[in-house]
Amino acid sequence: MIKLTRIDDRLVHGQVAFTWVPALGVNCLMVANDKVAKDEFMKMTLGLAKPAGTKLLIKSLKEAAEFLNDRKNDDLKVLLILNSVKDASAMAAEVPMIRSVNVGGLRLKDGARLISKAVGVNDEDIVIMRDLLSKGVELEIRQVPTDNKLMVESLI
């Protein structure tokens, strides 16, 4: 079961390991990213950042969707981590249980503007976010679980 779907371009790091994992009671971190799934060095690096006792799965978007849609994996408590709005949209289209997405951190890139202190989006991201919102997917911004939710629709 997915406990949280999070967009964070840093993927696995301290905020995830030491605040989100215990707050959600997850036992599995899943990074869904086509590039990282093929990069042995990145996989090793992310493995070093995961908390002890937590399983780390790194899969392509397609493999992650298949895994999450397979009922035999329902006993896992998963924190799904994506590194872009585009990937979140792709996962939400393939995994019906994704009805809410936490936007935790997106660094500024070319053409992007800040919509919160840790979230920079460009025009393409905004189009995708509006599409997700139109499909009934909640988009909220929180860096850590104790932050108040900022609803994306009021910021774009």
Give catalytic residue positions: 13
Residues 6+ apart with CB under 8 A from 79: 2, 3, 4, 6, 16, 20, 21, 24, 26, 28, 29, 30
**Rg from Cα positions in the chain:** 15
| Cβ–Cβ under 8 Å, residues 140 and 102 | yes
Q: Which residue, chain included where needed, has tokens 């981590």? A: 81
